[in-house]
Structure 1
Amino acid sequence: MDLQISVFLLFILFTAGHSLSCYECMSLTGSCADQKLKTCPSGSSKCMSVRTVRQDQITLEVMGKDCVVNCQSGSMNFGYSKLTTSCCNTDQCNAQDAPDPPTIPNGRKCYYCDGQTCSNTVSCLGTEDRCFNATATYERLSAVVKGCTSASICDPTSFIPALEGISCCEGNLCNGAQSVTQSFLFLCCSLLSYFLMH
């Protein structure tokens, strides 16, 4: 009996001190070739890999990896940019880069904002089966954002703390069209800055 208690106490001692380890990197070239392994701070329970692709006159691709408190795997389509995440909860599980954004339309359409209006429509891709509304906040500035998302990302405790008040709905164009006055460039810079600074 004493041996069982001793083994149990040793097991607790060695497992209680274990911290999750994840890869960390930030790249503007779309690949994390120079990733480093780090021990996650207390409270982090998952490893994340994220890819953001923005296409207009030029293509900008940002890749990031890090420890996070919470995140969900899936994709978001902002109309002018796309974001994919891959989340896991074991040591060094984010060695692979986040997947490329989906490219196959699934028949759903949602509204998105371009800085002047939120009456633009975007075709949802892959697993993006919901429309969303949210507010992107960076420092003291905020902007309305809309688009398509995977159902998994609709969780309000999801991985993007820069997005507040996210609400999702099912059905074509269910996220409503409204005009906005915030700058399109502000939103892009805000999201990019968040991923570069965190």
Structure 2
Amino acid sequence: MMKLLLSLTLIWALSSTGEALVCQTCTTSACNVTVPLKCSSETMCITAALEVTSEQQIIKGCASSSVCPAIGFHTYSINLGGSSALVYAFCCDTDNCNSATLPFPAVPAANSLQCYSCDTSDCNNPLQCKGTEDRCFQTSVRFRSTNVAVLGCASTNMCAAAADLGQLPFLPSVGNMGPTCCTTNL
């Protein structure tokens, strides 16, 4: 009897696999229509309100642990001088838990950190960091067969996600990178 019970338990454990998470995902750029999406390997659902260089966007979908390391609200921020992104996100781990739409983040106040940023020819431009931007950010990206320096301010979680993903979350157009982040001024 014990062997039968052990065999049945083992068969059940091997055959029962966790169901994939189902998250709401946007079907339009305004995200006013969503549909359920079965996630592949992602472990969380995300809903996010982004302000990317003065353009607002709503994102809903599946998220990796690099972007959603824990359940709850997260603020991601990066400022590269000429472009910036401020993201207010909610991560959750139950089916369709990302149906709410978040408000857009308010522009944060300046903090005490300053970092360098680049313009077309100079990477010695002081940049005042804001809100959760507690790291100076430095990397290079490939642009038209040339490596281009990218410097600025970033939040700790933005640095961690960029290092894990090899690109900036919410700003994939910046390109692939391996960032270096530090906590000292300039």
TM-score normalized by the length of structure 1 = 0.64
Structure 2 residue runs of 5 or longer lacking an equivalent are: 68-73
Cα–Cα, structure 1 residues 19 and 84, in superposed 2: closer, same or farther, change >3 Å? same
Question: What is the aligned counterpart of 2:58 among 32, 56, 63?
Answer: 63
In 2, distance between residues paired with 1:90 and 1:46?
Answer: 5
**Shift, 1:128, TM fit:** 1.4
Find out whether 1:33 has 2:28 as its counterpart. no
In 2, the alpha carbon distance for the partners of 1:139 and 1:37 equals: 38
Which of 157, 160, 180 in structure 1 is aligned with 2:164?
157
Q: Aligned partners of 2:88, 2:107: CA distance in 1, in Å?
A: 12
Q: Between the two proteins, what is the percent identity of the paired residues?
A: 28
- Equivalenced residues, count: 165
Q: Which runs of 5+ in 1 are unaligned?
A: 174-198
Task: Give yes or no for contact 2:79–2:152 (8 Å, CA) kept in 1.
Answer: yes
Q: Is the contact made by 2:21 and 2:93 (CA closer than 8 Å) also made in structure 1?
A: yes
TM-superposed deviation, 1:133: 0.8
State the structure with more CA Rg.
2
1:19–1:151 distance in 2 versus 1, CA, 3 Å? same
Give the alignment's Cα RMSD to 1 decimal. 3.2
Partner residue in 2 for 1:181: none
CA contact (8 A) 2:23 2:62 kept: yes
Query: Aligned partners of 2:119, 2:182: CA distance in 1, in Å?
Result: 20
Per-residue deviation, 1:125: 1.8
Q: Does 1:6 align with 2:1?
A: no
Query: TM-score w.r.t. structure 2 length?
Result: 0.68
